[in-house]
């Protein structure tokens, strides 16, 4: 091997390790392998999960102006190559042989070689007039010495004359080293992607379970899950209108459904009473905030922690006359001030056991009256600045709005 | 660069990419860099998260028989090196200079060099009699061209005579290439570890939320969270005794707490009635299984799906006389048969609104009588084969048993 090739190899190794996109990585492997050997064509196969087939990933041929697979968006329509042991009928595919035996195959001219059928390139030649000649086929072994794919290079060219020549032994060493680097880089990347995907699934399961916790809690007081969806969407709209950063809007959207979890601890006789509560009942009813805080305390989940904050603060009032702590103004956590407006607006505009639903106009009037008394005055202003979005969420026909807002 | 060095470099690149343990990787970087340059000593620094300091990670010196950091378990007690811009007082640390300017520094003899203070090696020499002489200091830049660390090699040796010589320019290129490979490998590894840690946190949050869902549901019928813990621990003991694989034991442990989630949908007047239910009330009470199934349906979480199965099947009976579906024998999901025994045993041995707690002996008698009628006969046999473990979970003093079982 000459030094310039080896230096190039070191650079390629770094580039392969650094590539984050698997399709780009696959392409880069073939590009660089062809580059180092001046090969006209190149194919990359990956062993499938069942280790039963070699799947085509990249197919390139300069003369035929062909680039398929990888980032090109052009799929390779060829069927996968079965991995068949030697001795089996149809065993004579060279890539299958290389994957199974872990041997390198270097053929000066595939029309004169024996032992392999070379049906693929011969069929291709017959239909296109191309002339496949020299071929180098190398297994890609990862750090656990497992063959994860096969790299196949076609028609090495003389750098000076561009004549098709056999792959020289120096190229073989070089490409073998590249193939190892490529296999390790690819395995690392696949492991990373799999881990990232597993994390996304767990996150989704966590979000689903939080949503479920909220819906389960709402089951008893005949609140529908629609109330929870609307209320959390209003909260997100207000948070966005208040210029909270997107991550915080997301937290409010996900955590606000838990605001009434503590109602589980309130007896039916009070929770479902079809009339106004007397003062003793009212004292018990108010405890849903602290019961909710208790139910949601001690979690390491950021969302459950936010749920606790909201459960504890969504009935505080700007003027300090709310419950359970009687906090006033900026003492009330911002997320609680957001959810207070969202929760009251949705409650007012829907039927309750002891009263009918209000019209939007009546509800707007009450919000306006509560400005600076019950509610953070700026939050009420934000509400009135977002009436289009509020109306879209409110529209019972627009299920898709919830999805757009809540996903 | 000579070919053998370059070939070695390619192999090292693969080894670095393949190393999964960060401490081993850090050590490998210094080992291989010293190997390629026959350096007597080597130091690896990593830029800290605030980009304010270089932290010592690896410190090696063959002559002094010193190997610190990495996998050795021997910590490096030296304070981190502040990253100070040139011109600042105490700016003259060579590693800090290299990290900030991204320049390579190659010093033939650090006692004759100008511009840097070399306080570290000089102090070391003064106290030990060692003689620090040639030094090569190289920035480690990752694929985003960010310096993530500094590699410092000390006292190159002539391979023939072992005399201390300057680092030759060929070594500089070689180590620069190695440092790039090392930086990319290290960054990849750190990203992977961070992702794995984030996944673990999300998993923990998910488990916590499921537990919370179960505890919240139990809140109303004054079941304590202790009932849920005991019942799920009994279930895990039975599943293990039934020779289910560990993953399935884990699923049962995590999912069984949700078995009575549907009780949230049962009115207080029935759920909390301090007497036996009449037949009409009993019909409603039985609905807690299907309500639970409904509450837990449609999730992509494996654990919530298992919770649904258990909620729906833990009141089925082996002889087909159970509810809600009247399944018999093997038709009843195995997890439901596990939880049926666990749930009944814990219910019998604890007080209920309408009766006192039974003694273990009385409860054992009822389980025995239910063998092949209410319960899977093999499950009852497993129960009686695990009485030590059952007793350990039951012992109110042994909080730690729950932890041992439930974590």
Residue A167 shares a structural domain with residue A244: no
Q: Is residue B41 part of a domain?
A: yes
Contacts of B303 in chain A (CB under 8 A): 205
Q: Is residue A205 part of a domain?
A: no
Q: Cβ–Cβ contacts within 10 Å for residue B187, how many? A: 20
What's the pLDDT tens digit per position in A49-87? Answer: 999 999 999 999 999 999 999 999 999 999 999 997 666
Residue A15 shares a structural domain with residue A82: yes
Residue B171 shares a structural domain with residue B241: no
| Res A404 pLDDT > 50 | no
Helix (H) or strand (E) segment spanning residue A36:
helix A22-37
Contacts of B296 in chain A (CB under 8 A): 212
User: Does A268 sit within 8 Å of B17, measured CB to CB?
Assistant: no
pLDDT of residue B309: 98
Last residue of a domain, one of B139, B155, B189: B189
Q: Cβ–Cβ contacts within 10 Å for residue A200, how many? A: 12
- Which of these, A234, A285, A235, A297, lies nearest to A260 by C-alpha position? A285
* Distance of residue B6 Cα from the nearest chain A Cα, in angstroms: 6
> Of residues A103 and B86, which shows the higher confidence score?
A103
Q: Cβ–Cβ contacts within 10 Å for residue B369, how many? A: 12
Q: Is residue A194 part of a domain?
A: no
Residue A120 shares a structural domain with residue A233: no
Contacts of A180 in chain B (CB under 8 A): 14
The domain that holds B318 is classified in CATH as 1.10.3210.10
Count of domains for chain A: 2
Beta bridge partners of B375: B371
Please list the pLDDT of chain B residue by residue as tens digits (407 residues).
567 777 788 888 889 999 999 999 999 999 999 999 999 999 999 999 999 999 999 999 999 999 999 999 999 999 999 997 666 655 689 999 999 999 999 999 999 988 888 988 999 999 999 999 999 999 999 988 899 999 999 999 998 999 999 999 888 988 999 999 999 999 999 999 999 999 999 999 999 999 888 888 877 776 667 888 899 999 999 999 999 999 999 999 999 999 999 999 899 999 988 888 999 999 999 999 999 999 999 998 999 999 999 999 999 999 999 999 999 999 999 999 999 999 999 999 998 777 889 999 999 999 999 999 999 999 999 999 999 999 989 876 655 555 545 43
Residue A311 shares a structural domain with residue A360: yes
User: Does A14 sit within 8 Å of B9, measured CB to CB?
Assistant: no
Residue B170 shares a structural domain with residue B245: no
Mutate to test the interface with A, among B2, B7, B8, B18 (most CBs of A within 10 A): B18
Task: Give A143's pLDDT tier (boundaries 50, 70, 90).
Answer: confident
Q: Write down the ipTM of this complex.
A: 0.82
Residue A162 shares a structural domain with residue A242: no
Q: Is residue B281 part of a domain?
A: yes
Residue A283 shares a structural domain with residue A239: yes
User: Does A264 sit within 8 Å of B264, measured CB to CB?
Assistant: yes
Q: Is residue A263 part of a domain?
A: yes
| Res A406 pLDDT > 60 | no
User: Does A202 sit within 8 Å of B199, measured CB to CB?
Assistant: yes
- Which of these, B356, B15, B326, lies nearest to B185 by C-alpha position? B15
pLDDT of residue B354: 74
Last residue of a domain, one of A155, A189, A223: A189
**β strands within A158-290, DSSP E:** 164-165
The domain that holds B107 is classified in CATH as 3.30.450.40
Task: Give A223's pLDDT tier (boundaries 50, 70, 90).
Answer: low
What's the pLDDT tens digit per position in A280-293? Answer: 999 999 999 999 99
What's the pLDDT tens digit per position in A144-191? Answer: 889 999 999 999 999 899 999 999 988 898 899 999 999 999 999 999
Last residue of a domain, one of B189, B217, B248: B189
Q: Which domain holds residue A248?
A: 213-406
Residue A134 shares a structural domain with residue A283: no
Q: Is residue B194 part of a domain?
A: no
Candidate from A13, A203, A217 with C-beta closest to B10? A13
Q: Is residue B376 part of a domain?
A: yes
Q: Cβ–Cβ contacts within 10 Å for residue A349, how many? A: 17
User: Does B192 sit within 8 Å of A191, measured CB to CB?
Assistant: yes
In angstroms, rounded to a whole number, what is the distance separating the alpha carbons of residues B123 and B135? Answer: 16
Candidate from B13, B209, B212 with C-beta closest to A181? B13
pLDDT of residue B344: 96
Q: Spell out the residues 6+ positions from residue B364 whose beta carbon is closer than 8 angstroms to its own.
A: B384
Residue A171 shares a structural domain with residue A257: no
Q: Cβ–Cβ contacts within 10 Å for residue A342, how many? A: 27
Residue A58 shares a structural domain with residue A102: yes
In angstroms, rounded to a whole number, what is the distance separating the alpha carbons of residues B8 and A392? Answer: 65
Candidate from A202, A217, A303 with C-beta closest to B216? A217
Residue A217 shares a structural domain with residue A311: yes
Contact A365, A358 (CB under 8 A): no
Q: Cβ–Cβ contacts within 10 Å for residue A46, how many? A: 19
Torsion over CA of B260, B266, B267 and B270, rounded to 10 degrees? -80
Torsion over CA of A363, A365, A369 and A371, rounded to 10 degrees? 70
Q: Is residue A36 part of a domain?
A: yes
Candidate from A3, A185, A195 with C-beta closest to B6? A3
How much is the pTM?
0.83
Structure tokens of A309? Answer: 């904050």
In angstroms, rounded to a whole number, what is the distance separating the alpha carbons of residues A320 and B23? Answer: 55
């Amino acid at each position: 091997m000459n030094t310039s090739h080896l230096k190039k190899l070191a650079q390629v190794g770094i580039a392969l390790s650094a590539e984050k996109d698997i399709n780009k990585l696959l392409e880069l492997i073939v590009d660089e392998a062809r580059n180092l050997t001046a090969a006209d064509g190149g194919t990359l196969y990956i062993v499938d999960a069942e280790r039963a087939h070699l799947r085509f990933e990249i197919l390139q041929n300069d003369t035929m102006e062909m680039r398929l697979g990888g980032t090109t968006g052009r799929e390779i329509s060829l069927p996968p190559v079965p991995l068949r042991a030697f001795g089996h009928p149809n065993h004579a595919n060279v890539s299958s042989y290389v994957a199974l035996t872990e041997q390198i195959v270097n053929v000066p001219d595939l029309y004169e070689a024996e032992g392999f059928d070379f049906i693929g390139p011969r069929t291709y030649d017959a239909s296109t007039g191309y002339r496949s000649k020299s071929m180098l086929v190398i297994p890609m072994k990862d750090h656990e010495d497992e063959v994860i794919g096969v790299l196949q290079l076609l028609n090495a060219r003389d750098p000076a004359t561009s004549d098709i020549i056999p792959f020289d032994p120096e190229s073989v060493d070089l490409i073998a080293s590249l193939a190892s680097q490529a296999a390790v880089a690819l395995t690392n990347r696949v492991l990373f992607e799999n881990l990232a995907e597993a994390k996304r699934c767990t996150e989704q399961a966590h979000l689903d379970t939080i949503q479920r916790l909220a819906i389960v809690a709402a089951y008893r007081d005949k609140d529908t899950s629609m109330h929870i969806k609307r209320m959390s969407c209003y909260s997100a709209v207000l948070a966005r209108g208040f210029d909270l950063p997107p991550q915080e809007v997301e937290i409010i959207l996900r955590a606000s459904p838990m605001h009434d979890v503590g109602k589980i601890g309130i007896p039916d006789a009070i929770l479902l009473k079809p009339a106004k509560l007397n003062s003793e009942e009212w004292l018990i009813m108010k405890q849903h905030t602290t019961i909710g805080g208790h139910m949601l305390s001690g979690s390491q989940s950021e969302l459950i922690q936010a749920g606790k904050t909201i459960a504890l603060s969504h009935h505080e009032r700007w003027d300090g006359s709310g419950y359970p702590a009687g906090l006033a103004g900026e003492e009330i956590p911002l997320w609680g001030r957001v959810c207070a407006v969202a929760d009251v607006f949705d409650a007012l505009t829907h039927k309750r056991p002891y009263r009918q639903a209000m019209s939007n106009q009546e509800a707007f009037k009450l919000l306006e009256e509560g400005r600076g008394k019950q509610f953070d005055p700026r939050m009420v202003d934000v509400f009135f600045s977002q009436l289009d979005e509020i109306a879209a969420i409110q529209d019972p026909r627009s299920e898709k709005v919830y999805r757009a807002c809540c996903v």
